[in-house]
Structure 1
Amino acid sequence: MTSAPLPDAGSNWVDRHAPEGLKPWLKLGRFDRPIGIWLLLLPGWQGIALALSQYRKTPDLYDLWLLVGFALGACLMRAAGCAFNDIVDRDIDAKVARTALRPIPSGRISVKQAWAFLIGCSLVSLLILLTLNLVAVLLGVASLALVAAYPFMKRITWWPQAWLGLTFNWGALMGFAAALFGSSVLMTVAGVVETGTTNVAFISPVLLCIPALLLYLGGVFWTLGYDTIYALQDIEDDAVVGVKSSARRLGANVRRGVGLFYLATVLLTVLAGLTASLGPVFYVALLPWAAHLFRQTRDVRPDDPALALRLFRSNRDAGFILLLAIILGSVQLPL
């Protein structure tokens, strides 16, 4: 059986160029739709940039590895998360037009094969995680609880998009910790054994982490906004199969809801910049980012799934604008 393109994947490199035998596996990991990788990766890069702005230092090779390692980890963990989601949701996916052609409900990949794929991606991700410091490793392990619970949220709450926000933006905390506290977990353990000291990360003031927590919370509301827009594509099918979503809960008030979510995002992000003592360029660079979110709010319509998909995908650009603003915020202007 050939691998047909999914309704929301559009024209993509997997359908055009990948060998036929690899297409179901690449689609299981959603490599045909890289927007999810970007939305998972960008909060991690933003957290790294925020930590480096507090250092006010020139990035070194370890920081370069953080950017590369987080990119690889985002690809692998997003693939593992999608596989787990498809395993759990295989019966629901078979009843929804947008997801019925996914590899598991369409029968191109078995559940056992999907589990093997998930485990393989997770093990490679673990190797990457172990190159980070102990705090980042512990945060990475803690994120597994969020990932594991997410597929079940649409069955028990009207706000599964909020849980996705908690999950997808966890990288902001990990990136901040990885960059701020430095050194890998292996180096940390070796230092503790040799000197008998405790890693400085565990005794650092909590105040040091407030900017990252505010950035993370802002990201949660950002995801709640853009995934509500994304959920508009499935609103009719979700009602038929009994799946809950913020788009269904908001109904005709979806534009107002998205606007409030994005307003919270902007306010929390501004507070993150203030507590991190970012320079004035940060706030200037935030203006096009806030305008981008406003445009999404203005344009979204509950009855236009194609527009919803375009607006959702535009959040990659929004994430990059915020990343650039944080980087520019570390620039100290002469008085």
Structure 2
Amino acid sequence: MNQTIVPDSQARGLLARLPATPRALALLARFDRPIGWWLLFWPGAWAVALAGGGVVRWALIGWLLLGAIAMRGAGCVFNDIVDRDLDAKVARTAARPLASGAMAVKVAWAWLLALCLIGLIVLLQLHLYAQVVALASLALVAAYPFMKRITGWPQIWLGLVFSWAALVGWSEVAGSLTLPGLLLYAGTIFWVVGYDTIYAMQDREDDALIGIGSSALSMGRHVRMGVMLCYLAALGLWGGALWVVRPQILALAALLPIAVHLGWQVITLKEDGIDPLAKFRSNRFAGLLVFCACIVVGNA
């Protein structure tokens, strides 16, 4: 069976040493591409920091990291179960374990259950209110793999899903979903749409050929402008969240580093097969910059 590691894997050497089955399981959960769980984790960490828990709630941040790794893996497994027919038609995804036939679907379902059990352990570390908020995301998560089949803007749905940790982290520390947490969540949706549009630039030809939607296709030749507008909206909403917590100009100044970074992404973006992946991955560092801003404002 073909178990070729996909082009954007970051752990070729480690995965190459694993036996066939553990290797296929790791690939299915995208453990070879940690950027995914970093992007899922950061919004939760931001919310904890902005709510004032960045210093005293390090254990919570650790649990959110574990939950992000497990649930991002579970989401990828479910996505690949649903999309195995489409993945087989796209060059970048044809080597995935289910699309290539390297793994049976029933094994994938068992792996999905195991990852969800880890997520359950993380869920039980939260207070009831935050647990309810976290569970409310499941319908969005379950529907996401189907969005590319019915809409040209599946990245918006992904934004709703990948930003949800901001609501969980805020509600756990603040005790309820108040305005700063909601603004942080809204801004993160636009950030996700921006960076995933950049990621989708890699697949535009294949997506158009097999008839599935993406924001990179929907924006057409205006993709750079579209990403820029998404990032500006993200910065504006994040600024609103920081201002509600601490209405001072210096609070807004904490966002200057991330504004520069996002501007660099847009200005230097090249529409080829290499640069979009590099720019997409750079959002792991972008997440760190926003975390620094939130921890400074939340603990000032």
Same fold (TM over 0.5): yes
The answer for the alignment partner of 1:99 in structure 2 is 93
CA distance in 1, matches of 2:214, 2:46: 27
Indicate conservation of the 8 Å contact 2:28/2:76, yes or no. yes
Change (3 A) 1:110 1:331: same
Unaligned residue ranges in structure 2 (runs of 5+): none
Indicate conservation of the 8 Å contact 2:200/2:216, yes or no. yes
The one-letter amino acid paired with 1:111 is: V
Indicate conservation of the 8 Å contact 2:227/2:266, yes or no. yes
Indicate conservation of the 8 Å contact 1:147/1:167, yes or no. yes
Please tell me whether residue 219 in structure 1 is matched to residue 188 in structure 2.
yes
Deviations 1:57-98 (A, max 9, x none): 961xxx222111111100110010000000000000000000
CA distance in 1, matches of 2:60, 2:12: 28
Change (3 A) 1:112 1:288: same
Please tell me whether residue 231 in structure 1 is matched to residue 231 in structure 2.
no
Q: What does residue range 1-335 of structure 1 map to in structure 2 within 5 Å?
A: 1=1, 3-12=3-12, 14-52=14-52, 59=56, 63-181=57-175, 201=176, 209-277=178-246, 280-302=249-271, 304-332=272-300
CA distance in 2, matches of 1:279, 1:58: 21
Deviations 1:236-256 (A, max 9, x none): 000111010000011110001
CA distance in 1, matches of 2:260, 2:12: 29
CA distance in 2, matches of 1:239, 1:330: 44
Change (3 A) 1:102 1:278: farther
Indicate conservation of the 8 Å contact 1:14/1:23, yes or no. no
Q: Aligned residue pairs: how many?
A: 300
CA distance in 1, matches of 2:108, 2:247: 44
Indicate conservation of the 8 Å contact 1:279/1:330, yes or no. no
Which of the two has higher C-alpha Rg?
1
Q: CA RMSD in A?
A: 1.7
Change (3 A) 1:58 1:106: closer
The one-letter amino acid paired with 2:185 is: Y
Change (3 A) 1:37 1:13: farther
CA distance in 1, matches of 2:84, 2:6: 15
3-state SS, counterpart of residue 22 of structure 1: helix
Greater displacement, 116-125 / 80-89: 116-125
Change (3 A) 1:22 1:281: farther
Greater displacement, 323-332 / 73-82: 323-332
Change (3 A) 1:12 1:242: same
The one-letter amino acid paired with 1:155 is: R
Indicate conservation of the 8 Å contact 2:52/2:299, yes or no. no
Indicate conservation of the 8 Å contact 1:278/1:326, yes or no. no
Deviations 1:3-26 (A, max 9, x none): 322022255454344344311000
Unaligned residue ranges in structure 1 (runs of 5+): 182-200
The one-letter amino acid paired with 1:216 is: Y
CA distance in 2, matches of 1:320, 1:115: 33
Indicate conservation of the 8 Å contact 2:245/2:297, yes or no. no
CA distance in 1, matches of 2:14, 2:3: 10
Change (3 A) 1:129 1:10: closer
The one-letter amino acid paired with 2:139 is: A
CA distance in 2, matches of 1:17, 1:295: 37
Query: Normalising to structure 2: TM-score of the pair?
Result: 0.95
CA distance in 2, matches of 1:172, 1:43: 5
Query: Normalising to structure 1: TM-score of the pair?
Result: 0.86
1:280 CA drift (Å): 4.9
3-state SS, counterpart of residue 89 of structure 1: helix
CA distance in 1, matches of 2:282, 2:89: 28
Change (3 A) 1:13 1:275: farther
CA distance in 2, matches of 1:38, 1:70: 11
CA distance in 2, matches of 1:279, 1:94: 52
CA distance in 2, matches of 1:43, 1:12: 28
Deviations 1:139-167 (A, max 9, x none): 11111111101000001111100100000
Indicate conservation of the 8 Å contact 1:42/1:319, yes or no. yes
Change (3 A) 1:17 1:50: farther
